[in-house]
């Protein structure tokens, strides 16, 4: 039992609502009155000190009125009159330029030097990406101030002779009421660092000028140095221009943004500046940060290197910011730890443009978007170069590793544009080796750009998820998609979205480990026009293009030497695979496109699965596939092939198969298909040297007005039929075409129309061949017959024979054929059918048979192996037999000898078989005999092989272990088990085969929590050390071992029983897991030292905890939640947030 006390203080909640008297209603009214009075005095003072004269009713005005600043929209009203007055006065015309800014330095404005605007001038520019109001300095500045590292903020006057020491002091001295309209601050050569007292940045621009220029006296020789801990420049007022300054080593010690330049305003320009070694891994915008809803930010002719941030290694702009433009700027070796190694621009979705123009990006890195991450549409990348940028990811593959150079995420229809840009050697660990475009938006455009040697898992160069993508006049070379996922690919381009349009582009030497060596597109209404795809490779489907979607168009496209290598699967479509309906291909060429390395590869140029395919006015040359469709395989109804040329295409069969190499030029699987006005020349296949038709329904197919020239099929059947009674030798030549020596129809002749007519079925119905017929017995094929005697002499020769309509050659032979030994028939290769030869002997070769043997592994009984050798029905005596068993592809001899007079050779094997593992083995008997070799012209020994099967069956047995009792009571599932209980286990071994199992042993070792106690009855012998043995377990029998263990500790216990048979040749284990708990029963009481208390009294509570169980209670904690009217004084550990007292009472 444990007792403890604590003291609390009784109180009421005394946090009443209190307000400062300063802010009651009367004082607020007084303060507002004073503020308005001061504003009126300031206005009068400003008019009093103005240098402008008031003429007539005109008043001098120098005011910019801004509205809706939170949303980022600006309504700047500037009224100007043509005069010599350097300040603008209201015009009598009452014309205001609402929302516009007058261009003081307009090339069309003759009054630019006096800051006036001609009413007729059209050079009034809006604050947009084209706004150049900050791009040209005023002709003169109202004031020029100098700053030098050797100057003085105490004695300096801001002149070149007596400069200030800091930029902040120069700004402070030239701000406020007496600030000039245009101010130029010149930083003399040297390095500036440090922060003024009370400031967060080295310098802060907060006063609004008409034009503020902060520049180096000598470009690149004035440096703002953050010393590895400071931020440099904050701009909160518009119309600021920074020129020729170096920003280095800005590393804030806190998590902040824009450590070099923080922009919280509009109309800021940065020109000819260098940003080096700024930022850290926690900030947003390692060099520059732009607040939301800001615009007209221009960075020109600048250089960024080795800047770092979490997001946007060089720059980040927030939501609503737009018109942020980079021109002629270089980014090298910048890094972000999340995304955007160079920049992250969130932007404005409402047709507001941000852009990069003529910029260079090299070796920038981030987990995603290695260079730039745009987060809005209507973004432009023009004339830029991206080299060696990398999105390397770092673990979260679902969200990182995309966009090696450029990531564009947007959800509207404004689109993004990439124009005249180059992407070399960029890498993404996920998709988009150079560019990734996602977010559900549409109208992405890529014009006149080059992508070379970029790599990603898919979309080796470009990955797009969005509709209406345009790729125009662009080149993709040597890009690679290395994913092994069969659902992705695109060595150059991956697009998921409808309305894709690829025009005037070239794809060469791109590779994909899986689908689409050059292009992977998934979406409807895709168009590929006036393009070239050459030397692209896919490991699986679509050597050049993998395409899923309906209503596709391919027009004026050249496909050359594209390949599906089958390294990632069974390749289909060496040039293109399309899954979708209503595809139209026209005016295109396919040359040397191939699917190889797999006997199941299909569609050397095209593999199409879909209905209503149209292929028109196109050429297919030297395309190859192994299985179906040397040039084209189409699966689907309504295919229409019109006015096409097919030449030297090949379906290349495997000699070991009989059902591949079909359709040398075209393989059609469907009905309602038309092949019209097309030419087929020198195509080859096993079946269907030009066309293979495989109808999959009851509809009809049509072949009309086509020309077939010397298309070659295989001859795969040339039997030799010898009849000793009729004295004839005969053959039937069966070839791979069954119509016109060019077509194989794998369906009813009634479902195929040739020039409007069904071919009749069978040669016998062809009216002597005058009617087109369907039959695979080939007519007019030359057959050469040669017969040899046993000494190799030619006893018969005929080379003048040709097959008739039934494909038959029949020759009368001499009545005396006693000298005949070997007959050879040959069809020599011709333009329509390949070479085939067949040889047979008049005396039949001996037949060898071997009986099959079945046994259980390890069986030491002798096994009988019997070999029978016969010649026809006649036993062959004294034949030499070599008997072997093939183990691990190696023959092991088990017997050698000669057959008996009955032609039998028999052995009893009891040495090798019992050592073999379970499985099937070939028993091979080799018999040698004499024959005549036509090739060598000699009598030679020939072998005849017979095979049998040795099946070695495994001993199948099982081992189970269960808990059957706790402390002698039957065990039920869920029963609570305590320390020091006795647990009884049932360990059962079951023999599952029809043979005895011997030498069974069970080992059930002690564990940290379980100790062996006793064996309960049974037939098992206890050998000590927790080992039991059983001499024999009968066939299909089982035996149970009942043992008891004592639980010695609490917690989870796993008791494992290990069993072996045949002295350890096979082993199994079974285990039981149980949870033992200490029996702990805790009672708790709480009493107070008083029953009635008053505010301010101390109350003492005593809490008593008693363990009435049999086991120790460890790590026990007591918590007491206080009433809100009590305050804790002492005792235990008090948590103010939860108003709870806690004690750890240990054991």
DSSP 637-678: TT-EEES-EEES-EE---TT-SS-SB-SSEEEESSS-EEES-
Cα 1006 to Cα 242, 811, 1024, 1025, distances in angstroms: 81, 88, 12, 9
**Segments of the chain assigned to CATH 2.60.40.1930:** 847-943
Arch. (CATH architecture) of 957-1077: Sandwich (2.60)
Instruction: Find, among 456, 399, 401, the residue nearest to 426 by Cα.
Output: 456
Give the per-residue SS3 of 28-54.
Answer: HHHHHHHHHHHHHHHHHHHHHHCCCCC
SS3 914: helix
SS3 26: helix
Residue-level pLDDT at 58: 35
Residue-level pLDDT at 129: 37
**Segments of the chain assigned to CATH 2.160.20:** 222-435
Report whether pLDDT(76) > 60.
Answer: no
Report whether pLDDT(95) > 60.
Answer: no
CATH code for the part of the protein at 715-736+777-843: 2.60.40.3080
Percent of the chain with pLDDT over 70: 82
Q: What is the pLDDT of residues 749-775, one digit of tens each?
A: 889 999 999 988 888 887 777 778 888
CA dihedral (5, 7, 12, 17) positive or negative: negative
Q: What is the pLDDT of residues 476-502, one digit of tens each?
A: 999 999 988 777 899 999 999 999 999
Residue-level pLDDT at 23: 40
Q: How confident is the model at residue 101 (pLDDT cuts 50, 70, 90)?
A: very low
For residues 13 and 325, the model is more confident at 325
DSSP string spanning 771-807?
Answer: S-EE-SBPSS-EEEEEEE-TTS-EEEEEEEEE--TTS
Q: Say which residue the tokens 């293009």 belong to.
A: 545
CATH code for the part of the protein at 847-943: 2.60.40.1930
Report whether pLDDT(79) > 60.
Answer: no
**Segments of the chain assigned to CATH 2.60.40.10:** 957-1077
Separation CA 489–CA 518 (nearest Å):
9
Q: Which of 31-35, 85-89, 612-616, 1029-1033 has the highest mean pLDDT?
A: 612-616
Q: What is the pLDDT of residues 927-942, one digit of tens each?
A: 886 665 656 666 677 7
Residue-averaged pLDDT of the chain: 82
Quote the tokens at residue 1039.
């035996």
Q: Are 741 and 776 in contact (CB under 8 A)?
A: no
Residue-level pLDDT at 118: 34
Q: Say which residue the tokens 């292009």 belong to.
A: 519
Among 226-235, 306-315, 773-782, 916-925, the least confident range: 773-782
Separation CA 1076–CA 563 (nearest Å):
65
SS3 393: coil
Residue-level pLDDT at 932: 59
Q: Give 921: exposed, middle or buried? Use CB within 10 Å, 0-12, 13-18, 19+.
A: buried
Q: Which of 461-475, 703-717, 793-807 has the highest mean pLDDT?
A: 461-475
Residue-level pLDDT at 113: 37
Report whether pLDDT(451) > 50.
Answer: yes
Give the Cβ contact number of residue 521 at 10 Å.
26
Separation CA 511–CA 563 (nearest Å):
10
Give, in words, the CATH class of 222-435: mainly beta
Quote the tokens at residue 745.
């129809």
Q: How confident is the model at residue 127 (pLDDT cuts 50, 70, 90)?
A: very low
Percent of the chain with pLDDT over 90: 47
**Segments of the chain assigned to CATH 2.60.40.3080:** 715-736+777-843
């Amino acid at each position: 039992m444990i007792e403890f006390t604590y003291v609390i203080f009784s109180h009421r909640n005394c946090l009443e609502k209190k307000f400062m008297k300063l802010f009651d209603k009367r004082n607020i009214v007084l303060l507002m009155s004073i503020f308005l009075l001061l504003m009126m005095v300031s206005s009068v003072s400003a008019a009093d000190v103005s240098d402008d004269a008031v003429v007539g009713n005109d008043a001098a005005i120098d005011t910019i009125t801004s509205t809706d600043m939170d949303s980022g929209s600006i309504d700047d009203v500037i009224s100007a009159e043509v005069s010599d007055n350097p300040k603008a006065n209201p015009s009598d015309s009452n014309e205001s330029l609402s929302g516009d800014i007058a261009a003081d330095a307009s090339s069309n404005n003759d009054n630019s030097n006096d800051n006036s605007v001609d009413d007729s001038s059209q050079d009034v520019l809006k604050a947009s990406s084209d706004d150049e109001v900050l791009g040209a300095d005023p002709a003169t500045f109202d004031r020029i101030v100098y700053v030098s590292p050797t100057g003085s903020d105490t004695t300096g006057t801001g002149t070149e002779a007596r400069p200030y020491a800091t930029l902040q002091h120069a700004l402070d001295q030239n701000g406020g009421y007496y600030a000039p309209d245009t101010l130029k601050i010149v930083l003399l050569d040297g390095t500036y660092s440090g922060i003024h007292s009370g400031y967060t940045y080295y310098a802060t621009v907060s006063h609004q000028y008409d034009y503020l220029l902060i520049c180096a006296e000598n470009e690149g020789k004035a440096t703002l140095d953050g010393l590895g801990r400071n931020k440099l420049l904050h701009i909160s007022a518009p119309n600021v221009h920074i020129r020729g300054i170096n920003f280095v080593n800005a590393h804030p010690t806190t998590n902040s943004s824009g450590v070099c330049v923080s922009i919280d305003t509009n109309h800021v320009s940065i020109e000819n500046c260098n940003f080096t070694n700024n930022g850290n891994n926690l900030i947003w915008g390692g060099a520059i940060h732009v607040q939301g809803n800001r615009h007209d930010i221009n960075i020109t002719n600048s250089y960024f290197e080795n800047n770092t941030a979490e997001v946007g290694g060089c720059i980040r702009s927030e939501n609503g910011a737009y018109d942020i433009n980079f021109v002629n700027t270089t980014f090298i070796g910048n890094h972000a730890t999340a995304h955007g190694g160079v920049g992250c621009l969130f932007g404005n979705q409402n047709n507001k443009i941000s852009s990069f123009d003529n910029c260079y990006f090299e070796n920038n890195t981030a987990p995603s978007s290695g260079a730039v991450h745009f987060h809005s549409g209507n973004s432009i990348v023009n004339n830029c170069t991206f080299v060696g940028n990398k999105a390397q990811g770092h673990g979260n593959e679902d969200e990182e590793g995309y966009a090696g150079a450029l990531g564009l995420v947007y959800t509207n229809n404004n689109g993004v544009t990439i124009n005249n840009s180059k992407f070399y050697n960029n890498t993404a660990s996920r998709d988009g080796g150079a560019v990734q475009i996602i977010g559900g938006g549409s109208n992405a455009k890529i014009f006149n750009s080059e992508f070379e040697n970029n790599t990603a898992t898919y979309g080796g160069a470009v990955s797009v998820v969005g509709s209406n993508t345009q790729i125009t006049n662009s080149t993709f070379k040597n890009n690679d998609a290395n994913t092994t996922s069969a659902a992705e690919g695109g060595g150059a381009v991956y697009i998921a979205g409808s309305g894709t349009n690829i025009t005037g582009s070239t794809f060469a030497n791109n590779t994909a480990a899986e689908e689409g060596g050059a292009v992977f597109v998934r979406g409807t209404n895709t168009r590929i026009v006036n393009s070239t795809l050459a030397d692209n490779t896919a490991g699986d489907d679509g050597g050049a293009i993998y395409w899923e979607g309906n209503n596709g168009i391919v027009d004026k496209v050249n496909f050359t030497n594209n390949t599906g290598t089958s390294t990632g699967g069974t390749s289909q479509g060496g040039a293109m695979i399309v899954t979708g309906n209503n595809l139209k291909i026209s005016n295109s060429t396919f040359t040397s496109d191939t699917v190889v390395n797999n006997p199941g590869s299909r569609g050397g140029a095209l593999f199409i699965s879909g209905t209503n395919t149209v292929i028109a006015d196109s050429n297919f040359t030297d395309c190859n596939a192994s299985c179906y469709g040397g040039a084209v395989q189409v699966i689907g109804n309504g295919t229409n092939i019109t006015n096409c040329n097919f030449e030297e295409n090949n379906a290349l069969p495997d000699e070991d198969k009989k059902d591949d190499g079909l359709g040398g030029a075209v393989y059609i699987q469907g009905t309602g298909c038309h092949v019209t006005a097309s030419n087929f020349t020198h195509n080859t296949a096993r079946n269907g040297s030009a066309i293979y038709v495989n109808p999959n329904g009851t509809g009809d197919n049509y072949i009309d007005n086509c020309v077939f020239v010397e298309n070659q099929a295989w001859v795969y059947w040339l039997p030799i039929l010898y009849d000793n009674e009729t004295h004839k030798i005969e053959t039937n030549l069966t070839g791979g075409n069954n119509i016109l020596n060019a077509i194989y129809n794998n369906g009813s002749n009634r479902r195929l129309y040739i020039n409007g007519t069904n071919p009749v079925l069978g040669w016998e119905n062809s009216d002597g061949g005058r009617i087109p017929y369907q039959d695979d017995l080939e007519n007019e094929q030359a057959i050469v017959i040669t017969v040899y005697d046993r000494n190799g002499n030619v006893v018969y020769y005929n080379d003048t024979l040709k097959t008739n309509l039934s494909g038959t050659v029949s020759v009368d032979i001499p009545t005396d054929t006693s000298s005949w030994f070997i007959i050879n028939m040959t069809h020599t290769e011709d333009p329509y059918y390949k070479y085939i030869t067949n040889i047979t002997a008049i005396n039949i070769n001996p037949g060898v048979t071997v009986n099959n043997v079945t046994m259980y592994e390890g069986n030491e009984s002798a096994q009988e192996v019997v070999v029978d050798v016969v010649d026809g029905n006649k036993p062959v005596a004294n034949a030499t037999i070599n008997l072997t068993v093939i183990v691990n592809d190696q023959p092991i001899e088990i017997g050698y000898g000669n057959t008996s007079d009955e032609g039998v050779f028999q052995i009893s094997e009891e040495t090798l078989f019992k050592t073999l593992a379970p499985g099937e083995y070939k028993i091979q008997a080799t018999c040698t005999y004499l024959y005549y070799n036509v090739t060598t012209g000699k009598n030679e020994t020939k072998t005849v092989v017979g095979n049998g099967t040795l099946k070695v069956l495994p001993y199948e047995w099982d081992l189970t272990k269960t808990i059957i009792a706790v402390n002698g009571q039957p065990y039920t599932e869920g029963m609570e088990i305590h320390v020091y209980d006795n647990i009884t286990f049932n360990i059962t071994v079951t023999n599952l085969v029809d043979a005895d199992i011997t030498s069974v042993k069970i080992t059930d070792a002690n564990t940290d929590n379980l100790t062996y106690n006793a064996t309960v009855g049974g037939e098992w012998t206890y050998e000590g050390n927790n080992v039991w043995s059983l001499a024999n377990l009968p066939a299909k029998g089982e035996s149970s071992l009942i043992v008891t263990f004592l639980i010695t500790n609490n917690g989870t216990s796993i008791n494992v029983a290990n069993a072996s048979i045949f002295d350890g040749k096979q082993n199994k284990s079974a285990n039981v897991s149980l949870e033992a708990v200490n029996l702990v029963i805790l009672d708790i009481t709480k009493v107070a030292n008083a029953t009635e208390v008053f505010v301010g009294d101390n109350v003492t509570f005593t809490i008593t905890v008693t363990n009435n169980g049999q086991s120790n209670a460890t790590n026990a904690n007591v918590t007491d939640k206080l009433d809100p009217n009590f305050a804790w004084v002492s005792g235990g550990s008090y948590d103010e947030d939860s108003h709870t007292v806690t004690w750890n009472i240990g054991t």
